[in-house]
Structures are given as structure tokens and as C-alpha cells.
Structure 1
Amino acid sequence: MSSTVLTRTLTAALGAALAMSVFTPPAAGDPPGHAPGQSEPQGWELADRIRKEVQPPRIPQRPFDITDYGADPNGDRDSTDAIADAIDAAAEKGGGKVVVPEGEFHTGAIRLRSNIELHVSDGATVRFSQDPADYLPAVKTRWEGVELYNYSSFIYAHDVEDVAITGGGTLDGQADDEHWWPWKEEPNGDGGVIETEHRDQLFRWAAEGTPVEQRRFDDSKLRPNFVQFYESENILLEDVTLTNSPMWMIHPVLSENVTVDNVTLDSPVGPNSDGVNPESSRNVVIKNSSFDNGDDCIAIKSGRNEDGRRIGVPSENIVIHDNTMADGHGGVTIGSEMSGDVYNVFAEDNVMDSENLDRALRIKTNSVRGGTVEQVYFRDNDIPQIGGEVIRINFQYEEGDAGEHTPTVRDIRIENVHSTGGEFGLYLLGYEQSPISDVTIRDSTFADVDSPMELEHVDNLRLENVDINDEHYDEVIDAGAAD
């Protein structure tokens, strides 16, 4: 394991700083992410504070080798019960390091407990069952921003603290063209798609206010996530490789103090295989990791529509640095499930390099989703290749302007960003009643784009020492409706 898990400790001051509950949204009039009445750092000073405060969990390093509990390193027998027994034994001792040694292990759902580190050693591969029954009974989860009871994620933790997944081994979800992925398009016999049918039912229940306990999908076609931490804190994922995911790969929900460090997220083929999706979570650092995904590399979320507004917990204080991103719909994305708001997002020193990466920075919403996004900082990111828009903020995502929850996007700061290729340098589409406002771009170049800008309903776009193709910009632009 990482030597950091046990040896680092939180000081009393840092513990107090992180003691603010993720379940309490900021009071009206207070800066997002800040305790009422306190004077707190802003901008990149806040990012530095977040980096210092988000520390690894403290977990006893007493080892519990899963083969001692009957796990089969040859992959001939199912090891689900043996892994569970090792986790239980460690938990009964007050916590420990559950070791997956070199070998190949087959398992169903893994349920983590407090004070447990799941260490997947170099040379170890954990292959997850392709049988949906192995992820029952249903657990409380979120699916595209809506609460329900559905299949367990492959690795699931609820209401835990001090938990980690580490090691140089591989977690293989075994999703492929015959398992999990086809649910996205599997016909229901009536001209529709089974997953869409179940998805629509879930969204109807949320809109009608059906209690979460009654939103049960015990035999559904709603694909599970790969790794999910729900209502948990002090979380570390370090050094592991995740591949072949059924859907979203790492999904902290209503959680706090999360570190993703040197993780490889390799699932470029499957649908909706986002890399890391913090949702309604606070104090998250994503660093030194490699992304190659069939959807967004990183997507920051806070719940969808009525459910997001009912829970009302934003995602805030997210720091993303020193990552590499290849294929994906977006490098750093906010939305589209952002009804609970997103504040204080920082991305720097990332490399986004693929003609199959559609956007570098993307914010997507509409008046059905609603929500506020503010204080987004994006600097020193290198973009040698890009497929679509370098910066895309779009209020016309999916439903367009069809609801009563007008979104707000403001206070976006972009510095020292250099890109080559793509369809647009800037693609900003707001609403007349709610323009995208206060976007500053400075000391940046967008070379060889097909079109420099597409702007609609944008207020106070400040371009300072910006070059797009062969044109230099030092000006403030206010844009109304497109011609």
C-alpha cells in the first residue's frame, strides 16, 4: 500500500476545518463552501487550502489476506464470500488492510466498511461477475442524479469513514458488448428500450415525490456504477486501475474528504463510462490520474431536477490537477445533473490530448435542471489536440429552455490555456433571462479552430491577451441573441 494511509494524520486544526458537514448547504449570503461569518480564502488560495486539508484516511495496517479466508487466486472459484469474510474480520478488529495478493479473483459485489483498506496488489486482478443477481439485494444509491434502490455498485460503501482502495493491481468490471453495455439499447419489444423505460419510471417517481424507499428496481435494467461511496467521508483511491465499467466508474455521493491519486480509468468503449463523478460532495482532490473514457473524464454533479433540489446539497471545493485525459465527451465537465449547485472548482496542470476528446471545459444545463455554477478556475492546462469546443457552456442541453428553473453560470476564470484544433475556441450559449456572466480568459491561445467563437446571451466576457487563430483579443464582449 501506500505508505501514506497510516502515517499521515489529521491535525486538530485540519479536523476542525473538515468537520463542516457535507449535508449542510451554505447559508444565504455566505460565500459557497465557507462557514457563516468566517473570512475565508478565495480563488487559488482556496485551492491550496483544500489540497492541504484533504488528507488520506487513517487505517490500521494489520493485514488480512483474502486467501486465508478461502479466496481462489486461480480464478476457478467465486471469492465473494471469502472477500466479505476478510473485510468482516478486519472490521471486528477495529480495521485493517484487506490484501488481494497476486492472482486472478472472481467476485460479485464487494461491500466496504469503516477503517478498511482494500489493497489490490501488483499482479492481482479482480474480475467482477457478469450476472446481475450478484449485485442484489438492492442498495440505496443514486442513478443519474436520482435516489433509488438498485443494484449495488461493484464496490459499494454506505455511511462509512476512513476507507481506501489502493495498490497497483486491476479491477476489471468485465462489461462488454454482451454484458451490461447492451442494456443501453436493449429493445423492450414495444419499440422502446428497456433501460429508457426504467429510467423514465425513476424520473416520474422523483417528479411525483414518491418516497425513496418505494423507488425499488430489484430486477431492473439500470446499470450499476463501478465504485460508489454514499454518505461517507475520508476516502482514498490510489494506484489502482479500473477497466471495462458498466457505467460511471468512481462515484462519491454526499461524501467528504475524497482523494483520487494515480488511478488509471480505462473504459473508452462503453456507454456513460465517466471516469470520476463527484456528486453533492465536498473537499475532493483528483490528481496524477489517467483518463480514457467513453463519456466525460470528470463530471461534477449535484442531483437531478426535483431530487437534486429536494436534497439541496452542492458539490464544492473540487481540485483537479496533474491528470492526463485522452478520449471522452469532456475533460472537466460540470452537469448536467447539477440542480443542487456547484461551487469552487479548480483545474490546473492537466494535459488533454486526443482528437476524440470533445471538450476541455464543459458546463451543461437547462431550465429543467436549473442550478447555479460559480467560481470555476481553469489554468495552465495544455490541450495539444481537441475534437470539438475548447470551452463549452451550454444552457440548451437536451430539454433546452423548457422548465421553470433558470440556471445561473458566472465567475469563470481561465488563464494560460493553450489548445490546438477543434470546432470552436469558445462556445457559450446562455438565456436572455439569464446570460452567462463574468467569464474572464487571459494569456491563452486557441490555434487552428474551425470557428473562433459562438456566443449567445453572454455578459462581461473579458478577453485579455487572447489569441484565437490569427486574431488577437483584448476586449470586453457582451453578446445578445444569435443572428
Structure 2
Amino acid sequence: MKNKIYNSLFCFSAALVSALFVNCSAQKKSDILANPWKVKEQIEKEVVVPVFVNKTYNIVDYGAKSGGTYNNSEAFKKAIETCTKNGGGKVVVPAGKFLTGPIHLDNNVNLHLEDGAEILFSTKSSDYPLVKTTFEGTECMNHSPLVYAYNKKNIAVTGKGILNGQADNENWWYWCGSKGYGWSEGKGNQNDPQNRVRLIESGEQNVPVEERIYGEGSYLRPSFVEFFECTDALIKDIKIINAPFWVIHPMKSVNVTVDGVTVESHGPNNDGCDPEYSKNVIIKNCTFNTGDDCIAIKAGKDGDGRRVAMKSENIIVKNCKMLDGHGGVVMGSEMTGGIRNVFVENCEMDSPNLDRAIRIKSNSRRGGIVENVFVRNIEVGQVKEAVLRINMFYNVYGNQTGNFIPQVKNVVLENVKVKNGGKYGVLAKGYAELPIENVTLKNVTIEKVNEAYSIENVKNIQFVNTYINGKKVESPK
């Protein structure tokens, strides 16, 4: 009898806890839909910006020589090791040009470039050892990113100086296999079946990451700045140019601030900032002029993304300027783990070489969900294709069909003004079995667009006080 009473009480308590959990989750979900910008403010309060001990370690004191020809890898390494050993502080790069291999940050270190300082990164791939990293959404052991931190806390790259990856059609870029970026017959490239294709297959087969060995001869380009499994990271005021691949890549990191950074790099896959599997990321006061997406929020790809199964969430973009790029703020295409709670506000997007303002892309091989995307107070000068583009049939590298239908829901654009919208105001295509849901344009004005919208398998799209080419647009029934 005693056991029966205990079991009944236990079941009742478990049911009560479960009900409370469900109610709390539902409350949180309803909160963000009812007042998303209040939720954004709460997220901003949660983000921790690194603070450093007031000590400085000048790389010149550790043997660094300017001029751009002497390799200063050891000087950077010694200064960083000493700084973190003594409790942290600022590793200072003075005015001048300093050549180096990869720079690996450590706990409580702020790599600070003074005005006039430029770090030139070696173009010799053999200078970049194997580390745990990722390529296009699949984890692997590959060339170290140029600036790298793995499982570190309280780190930063700051200052008015320049990070120069020195990538061009002779170095790094031709690895993509495109003649437009310097590749020619006889040169290696990532598309060899033993390179990128083999990596994707290893993700599908769940090969341990430590056994996915690439590096020399594999032609998989490294990211420029990568914070991998880091907490409380900052990159501020730096100018970054000539990147081999993705430029700023927070990977599985929490509390990341990208503030006042300028990115100018027009190489292949030169996305400006790619938060992946990351939470509480603020990108503000930045300028992006890129060869690919200005900002691309990601969450892994295909089988490897389903293995990791982490969302990118609570991503804030504000007061930024987007120039050239495939998209201003993009979600995908590597979004298998899912993306939620994205806030974009007070940004300017304008270039004849900017294809879209807001873009979401996936396919049935990648799957994933994007939910709760809120955009407001955006000024768009010119885009080529569409103001809002949602493509669930994104196709690159051949056949991308599978059994994982992607989902998109709750996308709101508010107070958006567009002078030259290109081909479409809204271009959206979903699946009949899982339509795109709940898309709202409120107080949006779009001029010089060929077609107001082209939609397929979109459920509940609302145009509220929205004008395209001077005409008020009614919501389709």
C-alpha cells in the first residue's frame, strides 16, 4: 500500500513537472511572437563581453620584427603564452607589417592591433597544422584557421589594425576549383572525390571527427577567424581583408560579440560572418563587402548536422551596412541543426552586386528548421533578385534531394524601405507537404520591382500596409 501511494505521488509529481515544463516552453514561444523585440533586449543583457587584466605584452619584446618578410609565429606564440600564464591581458601588435603563420588565442587574451598595425598571414598551407575545425558545415581535422581559439574563455581580437589573409587567385582561392578564381587544369582543388566529397561521406557515415584527416593536398580552405567551442568572445574594430574562406566563424560558441568590424574580401565563399551552432551572438556596427553572403547563420550540414544536433539561436544583427554579397542576412544553406530567434534591425543594404536582402535557403538533403526571424527598420538601396528570398530547393554541388524536408515559419519584415527591389519583392518556394508558414510584411515599401511576389506552398502570408511599385498589396487568399 505504501508503495502504491508513493508511486501515485511520484507519477502525479512527474506529470505536474512535465505540464509545467510544457507550459513554460509554450509561454516562451508565445512571448517571442507577441513581443520579439523585448526578447531581443533580454538576450542582449545576457551576452557577456570579455574584460581583461590591465597588462600589456608587446610582440616586439618577444622577438617580432616588422617589414612583412620575417615569420613572427614564435613571437606571437610566446607573447600569448606569457600573457595567459600571468592571468591575461593585452597582446599588443604595434604599427608595422608583421608576417606570421596561424595565431592561436588562449584564455583571457586580447590580441590588440594598434592603429597602423597589419598582420600578414602566410600563404604557405604547410604553415597551418591540423586542428579540429570544420569545412562547409562538416567537422574535420584540417588546416588551422588563421586566427583560432579552441575551447577557450574570455578572448578577443581588437584594435584599429588590419588582418590580411593575403588570399588571391594565386593563393588559397583557386582551391575552390573555379577558373574565375585562378584554377586551371593540373592544379588541385576541393572537388576531387578524395577531398570535399569524401568529407561529406564521412559525415553521413558518422566517422569520428578525429579520423577525418585532411590538410595538405586536400584543398579545403581554412576559415579566417574561428572561435570553436568558446565562451565570451569579442572581435572589435578590426579590418579584415583577403580571406581564404569564411571570414568570422563562431562555431559552437556562446556569448560572441562582433562590433565595428569591416570585412572586405571578394573571394569564393568569403561570407563575412557565419555563426554556426552558436548561441547569443551580437553582430553590430559592422560593414560587409564580400564575395558571398554578408552574414550567413548556419547550423551544420546533412548527416553531420544531425549528429551534432545543435541550433544556432539568439542571433542579433544591428546597425550594420551590407554592400556586395549574395545576401545581406542569410540563414543556411548549412542549417540542418536548426536556426531560431534571429533579429535584424537598423541596417543599410545597398549595392548593384547585392543579390538579396534577407534570404533563407535549404533543401531536402539538409533539412532543418528556421523559425522566429524578425527584421525591422531596414533601408535597402538596390538588390538584384529579391528583398525576401526563401528557397527550400537550394541546389549546389549536384543533386541535393533527400528525405529531410526543411521547415520555415514565423518570418516578419517591418518598416522596410526599398528603392530598387530587383526582380521580386518576395520570392518563396516551399514543399506541399510542409509549407512555409507565417510570413508577414508590415509597413514595407518596395519600388522598382518587376513582380510583387512569386510564392509556392506558402501558408499564411500577410501584407499589412505594404506598397510595391506604388500600389497597396493585398494578402493572397
**Which residue of structure 2 lines up, in the alignment, with residue 452 of structure 1?**
452
Match runs of 1:350-389 below 5 Å: 350-389=347-386
1:200 aligns with 2:197: yes
Q: Secondary structure of 1:387's partner?
A: coil
Q: Distance in 2 between matches of 1:238 and 1:33?
A: 35
Q: Which protein shows a greater Rg?
A: 2
The corresponding residue for 2:267 is 270
Query: What secondary structure sits across from 1:423 in the alignment?
Result: strand
Give the Cα separation in 1 of the matches to 2:433 and 2:338. Answer: 19
- Contact 1:33/1:316 (CA < 8 Å) preserved in 2? no
| Aligned twin of 2:4 | none
Q: Give the stretch that moved more between structures: 466-475 or 212-221.
A: 466-475
CA positional deviation for 1:471: 2.1
Correspondence list, 1:293-308, <5 A: 293-308=290-305
Per the TM alignment, residue 74 of structure 1 is displaced from its structure 2 partner at its CA by 2.4
User: Matched residues in 2 for 1:30 and 1:188: separation?
Assistant: 59
Normalised by the size of structure 2, how large is the TM-score? 0.90
The CA distance in 2 between the partners of 1:386 and 1:28, in whole Å, is: 42
Q: Specify the alignment match of 2:155 in structure 1.
A: 163
Q: Distance in 2 between matches of 1:29 and 1:407?
A: 26
Contact 2:116 2:160 in 1 (8 A): yes
Report if aligned partners of 2:162, 2:240 keep a CA contact under 8 Å in 1. yes
Q: 1:471 to 1:286 in 2, by over 3 A?
A: same
- RMSD of aligned C-alpha atoms? 2.2
1:66 to 55, 59, 69: 59
Q: What residue is the counterpart of 1:333 in the other structure?
A: 330
Find the aligned partners of 1:328 and 1:454 in 2 and give their Cα distance.
22
Measured in 2, the distance between the counterparts of 1:142 and 1:465 equals: 44
Return the letter of the residue paired with 2:55.
R
How does the TM-score come out when normalised to structure 1? 0.89
Partner of 1:179: 171
Letter in 1 for 2:438: D
Contact 2:367-2:406 within 8 A present in 1 as well = yes
Aligned residues with identical type, % of pairs: 43
Q: Which of the numbers 86, 89, 101 marks the counterpart of 1:96?
A: 89
2:70 is paired with a residue of what secondary structure?
A: strand
Tell me if structure 1 keeps the 8 A contact 2:286–2:321. yes
In the aligned structure 2, how far is the partner of 1:273 from the partner of 1:216?
23
Asked if structure 2 preserves the Cα contact closer than 8 Å seen for 1:114 and 1:160, the reply is: yes
Indicate yes or no: 2:224 matched with 1:226.
Answer: yes
Q: 1:410 to 1:196 in 2, by over 3 A?
A: farther
Deviation at 1:473, TM superposition (A): 1.7
| Matched residue, 1:55 | 48
User: Do the aligned residues in 1 keep the contact of 2:174 with 2:189 (CA within 8 Å)?
Assistant: no
- Counterpart position of 2:12: none
Moved more, 379-388 or 165-174: 379-388
Residues 461 and 39 (structure 1), Cα distance of their counterparts in 2 relative to 1, 3 Å cut = closer
The verdict on how the C-alpha distance between 1:451 and 1:474 changes in structure 2, with shifts beyond 3 A counting, is closer
Q: How many residues matched?
A: 447
SS at match of 2:118: strand
SS in structure 2 of the partner of residue 76 of structure 1: coil
Sort the Cα spacing of 1:55 and 1:395 in 2 relative to 1 into closer, same or farther, 3 A. Answer: same
Query: What is the CA-CA distance between 1:332 and the residue it aligns to?
Result: 0.2
Distance change (3 Å), C-alpha of 1:402 and 1:194: closer
In 2, Cα distance between equivalents of 1:29 and 1:245: 46
CA contact (8 A) 1:366 1:407 kept: yes
Matches of 1:32 and 1:239, distance apart in 2: 39
- Could you tell me whether the CA contact under 8 Å between 2:280 and 2:314 is conserved in 1? yes
| Residue in structure 2 matched with residue 403 of structure 1 by the alignment | 402
Does the 8 A contact of 2:368 with 2:406 survive in 1?
A: yes
User: 2:138 aligned to 124, 134, 146, which one?
Assistant: 146
CA spacing shift, 1:401–1:439, aligned 2, 3 Å: farther
Shift of 1:30: 6.5
Shift in alpha-carbon separation, 1:367–1:40, aligned structure 2, 3 A: closer
The one-letter code sitting in structure 2 at the alignment partner of 1:460 is N
Secondary structure at 1:86 match in 2: helix
Q: 1:132 is matched with which residue? A: 125
Alpha-carbon separation, structure 2, partners of 1:240 and 1:280: 24
Residue 49 of structure 1: how far off its partner (Å): 1.2
Q: Deviations 1:447-474 (Å, cap 9, x if unpaired)?
A: 1012211111111001111111132124
Distance 2:27 2:263 in 1: 28
> What do residues 221-280 of structure 1 show as CA deviations (whole Å, max 9, x unaligned)?
00000000000010000010000000100000000000000000110x210000000000
TM-aligned CA deviation for residue 385 of structure 1: 1.2
Distance 1:125 1:32, change over 3 A: farther
Cα gap change, 1:111 to 1:401, in 2 (>3 Å): closer
Amino acid paired to 1:314: K
**Aligned partners of 2:222, 2:139: CA distance in 1, in Å?**
13
The offset of 1:411, in angstroms, is 0.5
Q: Is the alpha carbon distance of 1:71 and 1:193 closer, same or farther for their aligned partners in structure 2, counting shifts above 3 Å? A: closer
CA distance in 1, matches of 2:243, 2:28: 35
Deviation per residue, 1:403-435 (Å, 9 max, x gap): 111111001111011112211110010010111
> Which position in structure 1 is the counterpart of 2:38?
45
Alignment CA distance shift 1:400-1:51 (3 Å): farther
Whose helix fraction is larger, Structure 1's or Structure 2's? 2
- Cα deviation, 1:295-324, whole Å, max 9, x if unaligned, reads 000000000011111111000000100001
Could you tell me whether the CA contact under 8 Å between 1:75 and 1:104 is conserved in 2?
yes
Indicate conservation of the 8 Å contact 1:69/1:82, yes or no.
yes
| Contact 1:253 1:279 (C-alpha < 8 Å) held by counterparts | yes
Residue deviations 1:22-45 (CA, integer Å, cap 9, x gap): xxxxx988649969xx99995111
**What amino acid is the match of 2:380?**
I
